[in-house]
Structure 1
Amino acid sequence: MIKPLHACAPLILSGAFVFSASALAQTPDFRADAEHLLELIDEKYAYFARFDGRNPARGAQGVDPDAVTDASSLLRFAECAINALQDHHAILGISSRSSYGLTPSYNDLWVEHRDGAYVITDVRDGSPAQAAGVEPGWRLSSVAGQSMDEAVAGLCGGSYEADAAKGYAARVLAAGPRDQTREFVFTDASGQEQALSLPNLYQVETPERPLISVSDHDGIRVLRFNNSLGEQGLIAAIDEALSGARPDGLVIDLRDTPSGGDTLYARALMGRLIDETQPYQRHAFPQIERDTGVARQWMEEVLPRGESLAGVPVVVISGRWTGSMGEGLTIGLDAVADAVTLGAPMAGLLGAIYDYDLPETGWTVKLPTEALYHVNGTPREAYESDIVLESADLRGPNGEDLALERALSLLR
């Protein structure tokens, strides 16, 4: 079965392996599924341009079909094949309790490799890392008792050479195995070492929140989406949030949308802010052009619906935990509502993911198969806000939300 997804949905944690009904009568051919996974990546993955057109999983450390003999070795093979893509939007639909957590959905540290160091460039609001005092600008020195260089080299053989690749590996390590407390050593702004034990985000209960938190600031209405862009009931919540007196301005806060969602809900919001049909993003299948030399690309449109708020000025706030559909909604609001966008860089999740099932085990693999673009042709992952905020611009010394204050000041 193949189906398109616009969500970076969390994996279901399972200590056991589940096989398709067809595999129950006999032992699955695990090696065949390993070969099939490589072929799926060959045929379906949309972003080989990042690797000069080649599939980096072929020949990567830990990705040897001949070593696959059972469920455990297939899972190890598949995890290393996915890691070779260096793409947080390529996901396995099965995991073990010790599998690394998803970034950004289950990670509270954004790590980048800069000038030979692993630098914390953002910390998730309300997270264990923030509660422990971790700040942007700190350097991550070690994880689970290993130096960062050692840990990166040990992640599926460590084929991470460029800064972007090392940053990807560091974020995987920072999310940590799902069943373990994370052990870190940081170097803070004063040069002092800080050893911290942080719970894995799979172990942290999320407090119940409304799908949208709504607040009013002297006629300016703020809609904060609480990681809800794939939740049933969101259309009704959008209409409720936009009901009543016409606001003087709207702030759409998408800083907590790491798990993505569905374009249905993005169009539901955008449709309330326009009075005529407009394009909001471009889609393409790069592999079709790669295979045939003939490109396939099309524009997705959003249609007006309900009582129109067209003309109300809109500011969108985004950041590192704006992922997938959150990123699509940001570029869509820029296109259709002429919104001012501000914030730190987004998660940069590549394209739209599709589900593919391995034939022997029935395990699901989620691969970015469509490339997505702003209507002006900018790749979604390369989009920059109209007003780019650095980490120092996001929070005041006493926790003030400087990004929201900036958004409100733009609308006043």
Structure 2
Amino acid sequence: MKLASFQNVSLILSGAFLVSASAIAQTPDYRADADNLLDLIDHRYAYAHRFDGRNPARGAQGVDPDSVTDAASLLRFAECAVNALQDHHAILGISSPSSYGLTPSYNDLWVEVRDGAYVVTDVRAGSPAQAAGVTPGWRITSVAGLPIEEAVAGLCGGPYVTDAAKGFAARVLAAGPRDQARDFVFLDADRQTQALTLPNLYQVETPERPLISVTERDGLRVLRFNDSLGDEGLIAAIDEALAGSRPDGLVIDLRDTPSGGDTLYARALMGRLVDETKPYQRHAFPQIERDTGVARQWVEEVLPRGDSLAGVPVVVLAGRWTGSMGEGLTLGLDAVADAVTIAAPMAGLLGAIYDYDLPETGWTVKLPTETLYHVDGTPREAYRADIVLDSADRFGPNGENLALERAFETLGVESR
């Protein structure tokens, strides 16, 4: 057993508020780094068009550079500034024990605002929320002892005005502070009140798993990636999973890839499924166009490698806990392997993130800096599967994995 790791967190501020080694020699100018962060968002954030080109952190609730005097206040400022982007892919490489958990990596509830209600639209398979009986369709009425509307209004980085913005804030709140259990009041499917306390996912022990779980059924091979798209050793695991006799079909299950990964490993998989070089995704660098008026865009390609399985029918499963590189791989398999995609809407993590270090403290800020697209020009976050599911993590009355059964049916194997 192991504790869930603090993915994407390079430094944790304790009560003593430790700072990076480069800052030990002299006291950093914390106030200067507050301004540096705002300037960084101005010049590097690729999705400013979502806010008509402005930086939404400037003037947002809790984002006052004059309030920054030390490490603790800078961290608070930075977390509020990042919240203002309403983008789960914009994150800090530093945290405190009470910082809110990352979505989707450390969240088991996907919450959206529908007709004025805060509706749970998906629940992570195998999670504390699922074990407690929470199902899609339940409504959150209270979180951490506050009415949900009040909690959303009080989350720094606001105001949160649109339904999409309120949904973002509700998901941050649903992940909860990392060092605390999560208290909710729900209305269930029968509109009965359910008060539940759920453990924080940072404190939940998870069993050791292989990088890829491989199963076979009637000539079909299922490769389920266990949040491993950035793990060293994955190339060897891919090749082992694809070794042996040629399967009649492949199911690539990406429903548990919330932490994203590296394009190296995505290309390693796709390279086994092609017999000629093919484009798999498009990139653009909006900063260059903003600065010069000249756009920069390029296509990333997949090259064949090893024994080719080109022509084997492929189905991809994805959902709300398919994040970043998992999303890119879903689109890439659609493009290069003509895969059938069966998915709920994915995590919608925007673009490709770059790491930037604030000059005074050395703290890392991770911002989406490239915009990413399917090769047909569809923005990654706007992609919709061939077969759209409400939830990719639902189970039937007899425990059957509904999305997986749909994949088998698509490949010509009857359900069991």
Bigger mean CA offset, 14-23 vs 193-202: 14-23
In 1, are the aligned partners of 2:106 and 2:201 still within 8 Å (CA)?
yes
Give 1:38's aligned amino acid: L
* 1:145-160 → structure 2 map (5 Å cutoff): 145-156=145-156, 158-160=158-160
In 1, are the aligned partners of 2:128 and 2:198 still within 8 Å (CA)?
yes
In 1, are the aligned partners of 2:100 and 2:175 still within 8 Å (CA)?
yes
CA distance in 2, matches of 1:382, 1:293: 25
CA distance in 2, matches of 1:176, 1:219: 43
Bigger mean CA offset, 285-294 vs 173-182: 285-294
Give 1:11's aligned amino acid: V
In structure 2, the partner of 1:65 is 65
5+ residue gaps, structure 2: 1-5
Structure 1 residue 390: deviation in Å?
1.4
State the number of aligned residues.
405
In 2, are the aligned partners of 1:10 and 1:105 still within 8 Å (CA)?
no
1:308-359 deviation per Cα after TM superposition (whole angstroms, max 9, x unaligned): 0000000000000000000000000000000000110000000000000011
In 1, are the aligned partners of 2:352 and 2:372 still within 8 Å (CA)?
yes
Structure 1 residue 14: deviation in Å?
4.2
CA distance in 2, matches of 1:331, 1:239: 21
By relative contact order (CA 8 Å, sep 6+), the higher-ranking structure is 1
Q: Identity over aligned residues, as a percent?
A: 82
* 1:191-202 → structure 2 map (5 Å cutoff): 191-202=191-202
Query: Does 1:355 find its partner at 2:378?
Result: no
In structure 1, the partner of 2:3 is none
Query: Does 1:225 find its partner at 2:246?
Result: no
In structure 1, the partner of 2:296 is 296
1:89-148 deviation per Cα after TM superposition (whole angstroms, max 9, x unaligned): 000000000000000000000000111100000000000000000000000110010000
Structure 1 residue 272: deviation in Å?
0.1
In 2, are the aligned partners of 1:20 and 1:360 still within 8 Å (CA)?
no
Structure 1 residue 392: deviation in Å?
8.8
RMSD of Structure 2 on Structure 1 (CA): 1.3
Structure 1 residue 21: deviation in Å?
3.8
CA distance in 2, matches of 1:243, 1:346: 29
In 1, are the aligned partners of 2:81 and 2:157 still within 8 Å (CA)?
no
Query: Does 1:181 find its partner at 2:181?
Result: yes
Bigger mean CA offset, 107-116 vs 152-161: 152-161
Query: Does 1:10 find its partner at 2:8?
Result: yes
Give 1:316's aligned amino acid: V
Shift in CA distance, 392/79, structure 1 to aligned 2, threshold 3 Å: closer
Structure 1 residue 383: deviation in Å?
0.4
CA distance in 2, matches of 1:117, 1:93: 33
1:184-214 deviation per Cα after TM superposition (whole angstroms, max 9, x unaligned): 0000010100000000000001111110000
In structure 2, the partner of 1:135 is 135
For normalisation by structure 2, the TM-score amounts to 0.95
Structure 1 residue 393: deviation in Å?
8.7
In structure 2, the partner of 1:204 is 204
- Alignment partner of 1:405: what SS? helix
CA distance in 1, matches of 2:135, 2:127: 12
Structure 1 residue 27: deviation in Å?
1.1
In structure 1, the partner of 2:32 is 32
In structure 1, the partner of 2:268 is 268
For normalisation by structure 1, the TM-score amounts to 0.96
In 2, are the aligned partners of 1:10 and 1:102 still within 8 Å (CA)?
no
Give 2:36's aligned amino acid: H
In structure 1, the partner of 2:398 is 398
